[in-house]
Structure 1
Amino acid sequence: MALCSVVIRCHNEEKHIGKLLDCIMQQSIRDVEIVVVDSGSTDRTVAIAQQYPIRLVHIQPGEFTFGRALNRGIVAASGQYILIASAHVYPTANDWVEKMLAPFAADSRVALTFGRQIGNHLTKYSEHQIFRKWFPPEPHWYLQDHPFCNNANACIRRDVWEQLPYDEQLTGLEDLDWAKKALQKGYLLAYVPEAPIVHIHEETPQRILNRYRREAIAYKRIFPEAHFSLRDFLYLFPTNVISDWYHAWQEGVFWSNWKEIVIFRLMQFWGTYQGYRQRGEVSEMLKRRFYYPNKLKNQFSREI
C-alpha cells in the first residue's frame, strides 16, 4: 500500500500529461503511486503516460462521467490518500504532495484538502480572474465548513471514500457533492494555498458553454433550492464583463483581451442559464456533447 496514489483522469491530453507526470516524479515524497484513467484517447496520451511507472485504467467513452472515472481509478489505487489531478495541470513546486497531505496529519477530522489554482500565458483573462477569486493566496492552510473545492487539485482520505464513493450520475461538480456529504458526516475540508498547480484550459467558446451548462445541471441537483434566472444572466454577464475590462485596463492588457472577455463571460453565464433550465434526466447524447469534442460526439450520435 502506497502512502498516496495520484489519480489522473484524461482524454486526449498529449500536450500536457507529460509535464504533470514529470512533476510527480520529482516530488519530495517518493512513496507515490500513479493511476491514469483514460477515457478513449485517440492521440498519444496513453503512449506518453506509459513511459512512466503508472497503472493504466481504461473506461469506455460511452460510460464516462467524472465520478465514474474517479471511482474506477480509486478502486485500482492502493494509497491511503488519493490525490486527484486533471491531466492538464502541473504543480509549481516539488513539495506539492507533501503540502497536500499535511492537514491530514494535523487534524484527523480532515477528509479532503484542495490546493490553489493559477493560470499561465494560455489562460483566458476572465479565467485568471476566476482563479484569483476562488483560490486566493492565503498565507497558510485553513479549515472550512462549506463544501467548495475542486478536483483539478484535491486529495481525499481513502477510508472516507469507501463510505462515500463519488456520484456517477452527476454531469459535473462531483467534488462539491462529495464535500457536501463529507461535511454532513462531521468531517472537515482544508484549503491549502501553499500547494498550487497551473491549470490550463484551452477551450473553444462552445466548450466553455458546455462546461458551465453541465456544472449548472449538477449544481441544481446537489442544491435543489438554487436558481439562476434570466434576470441573473442579464445582471451577471455585463457586470462581470465590466469588472474584467476594468482590471484588464489597470493591468495594461485591455486591448488584447476585451473581445475574449465578452465571449468567455457570455458563454459562462449563458451556459449556466441553460443548465438551470434543463428539466428531467440528461440524455446520453447531451452527455457526450458535454464530455467530448465534435469528432467523438458525432461518433456517439451514430451509435445511440
Structure 2
Amino acid sequence: MINPLFSIIIRSFNEEKHIGKLIKGIRQQSVFNEVEIILVDSGSTDNTVSIASELGAVIVSIMPEDFSFGRALNIGCRKAKGKFLILASAHVYPIYDDWVEKMTAPFKNEKVALVYGRQVGNEVSKYSELLLFKKWFPAHSNYEQNISFCNNANAVIRRSLWEELPYDEQLTGLEDLDWATKIQEKGYVIAYEAFAAIVHVHEETPSRIKNRYMREAIALKSIYPKEKFTLWSFIRLTNSNIWSDAVHAVHDRRFFQEILSIIMFRTLQFWGTYLGYNMKSKPDETLRMRMYYPNNFRKKLFQKRVDESKMGFGQKIDYSE
C-alpha cells in the first residue's frame, strides 16, 4: 500500500496461537483498504512470522538481545507509512469491525495526541485480571483525560508527534505511560475510547505474572523516581486486593472456583512490584533477557548462538471459522 492512512504495528514473540486471529480481525475492519499491518518480531521460534506473512503483514525482524518495548515500537513506527500509528499486542483481537474507526475518531480534535481503547478478558483470563480490566478500562469514554494512564496493547498515536518524541528504548516497560506523560506536558490531550474494544488474552504462568509486574515497577521507578513501594506496601496492597477480589467473587458466586487464583495473582502482582521498585541497579543484558523471554527460549537462543457490548459498536467479528 503506497499511502495508507493507518499503520497497525504489532510486537510479537512466539504468538502463533494468537497472531492469526488478530490479523483476521484487522482484515475485517470497515476501513481495511486504508490499513497496513507491520509485525515487529523479536526472534520467534514458532510459526508466528509465517502466519503473519501469509495474511499480508509486513515483517520486520530484530534480534532478541536488541529488544525492548520502546525499541520494537520505534522500529515499527519508522517502517510505517500511515498518518496514524495503531499499536496492538500480538495476543489481542478486535471484537467489532469498526475498531479502527472508533479508535481514530477522537483525532478530529487537533489537540488529541493519543487514544487508547477498552480491553476485556476472555474465558482463560485470571479472575483478578478481569477485575483489573474493568477498573482500568471502564464502559464510558473520556475524550480529555487528565491523567497519563494508557496502554499500548490497544492504542493509537499521531505519527507526526512520534517523530518529535520517539519511545524511550531504555525502559523495561511502561513506555506508553512515559510517552503519555511527556506528551501531556507539551499540552496535548489523551483520549479513552470505550467503544474501541479488544479482547486481551493473557495466559501467563505464575513466574511470568511476577516478572511482568517487576519490569513494570522498574520502569515506573525510572519514570517517577520519587515513588516508593515498601514491604508494608506489599503486605497492605496484597491483602486489601485479595479481600476486594474475594468479595467480588462471592457476589459473582465464584468464590470457591477463584479464591486460589486470586491469592496467587495478587501476591505475585505486588511481590513483583516490590522487587522491581527495590532493585538497586539498572538491569543488565542478562536480566533484560530474563524479563522479556521465557526460560526455554533462552536455552534455544544460547544453542542457536553456539550452533547458528453491542451499543455504539459496529458488526461483531465472527472468529468461528
Superposition TM-score tier, normalisation by shorter sequence? over 0.9
**In structure 2, C-alpha distance between the alignment counterparts of 1:187 and 1:220, rounded to whole Å:** 24
Aligned to 2:316: none
Deviation at 1:47, TM superposition (A): 1.1
Partner deviation per Cα, 1:50-106 (whole Å, 9 max, x = no partner): 11121110011010000000000111110000000000000110000000000001x
**In structure 2, C-alpha distance between the alignment counterparts of 1:256 and 1:14, rounded to whole Å:** 30
Match of 1:89 among 80, 87, 92: 92
Compute the TM-score of the two structures, normalised by the length of structure 2: 0.92
1:157-172 residue pairs with structure 2 within 5 A? Answer: 157-172=158-173
1:133-152 residue pairs with structure 2 within 5 A? Answer: 133-138=135-140, 140-152=141-153
Residue 72, structure 1, aligned to residue 50, structure 2? no
Residue 34, structure 1, aligned to residue 37, structure 2? yes
Aligned to 2:56: 53
Q: Helix, strand or coil: the match of 1:113? A: strand
**In structure 2, C-alpha distance between the alignment counterparts of 1:300 and 1:5, rounded to whole Å:** 30
Aligned to 1:132: 134
Matched residue pairs, number? Answer: 302
Where does structure 1 lack aligned partners over 5 or more consecutive residues? none
Q: Contact 1:288–1:300 at 8 Å: present in 2 too?
A: no
Deviation at 1:297, TM superposition (A): 2.6
Where does structure 2 lack aligned partners over 5 or more consecutive residues? 307-321
**In structure 2, C-alpha distance between the alignment counterparts of 1:96 and 1:179, rounded to whole Å:** 21
Deviation at 1:145, TM superposition (A): 2.2
Q: Contact 1:16–1:87 at 8 Å: present in 2 too?
A: yes
**In structure 2, C-alpha distance between the alignment counterparts of 1:22 and 1:151, rounded to whole Å:** 20
Match of 2:65 among 34, 40, 62: 62
**In structure 2, C-alpha distance between the alignment counterparts of 1:82 and 1:21, rounded to whole Å:** 16
Deviation at 1:41, TM superposition (A): 0.5
Deviation at 1:142, TM superposition (A): 1.9
1:168-187 residue pairs with structure 2 within 5 A? Answer: 168-187=169-188
**In structure 2, C-alpha distance between the alignment counterparts of 1:32 and 1:114, rounded to whole Å:** 18
Aligned to 2:312: none
Q: Helix, strand or coil: the match of 1:50? A: helix
Q: Contact 1:9–1:70 at 8 Å: present in 2 too?
A: yes
Give me the identity figure in percent.
54
1:160-239 residue pairs with structure 2 within 5 A? Answer: 160-239=161-240
Q: Helix, strand or coil: the match of 2:54? A: coil
Amino acid at match of 2:195: E
**In structure 2, C-alpha distance between the alignment counterparts of 1:103 and 1:226, rounded to whole Å:** 32
Amino acid at match of 1:8: I
Q: Contact 1:4–1:80 at 8 Å: present in 2 too?
A: yes
Aligned to 1:261: 262
**In structure 2, C-alpha distance between the alignment counterparts of 1:29 and 1:225, rounded to whole Å:** 44
Aligned to 1:24: 26
**In structure 1, C-alpha distance between the alignment counterparts of 2:150 and 2:143, rounded to whole Å:** 13
Amino acid at match of 2:122: N
CA-based RMSD: 1.3
Partner deviation per Cα, 1:215-251 (whole Å, 9 max, x = no partner): 0000000011111111111101011111111111110
Partner deviation per Cα, 1:30-60 (whole Å, 9 max, x = no partner): 2001000010001111111011121110011
**In structure 1, C-alpha distance between the alignment counterparts of 2:132 and 2:293, rounded to whole Å:** 24
Deviation at 1:272, TM superposition (A): 0.1
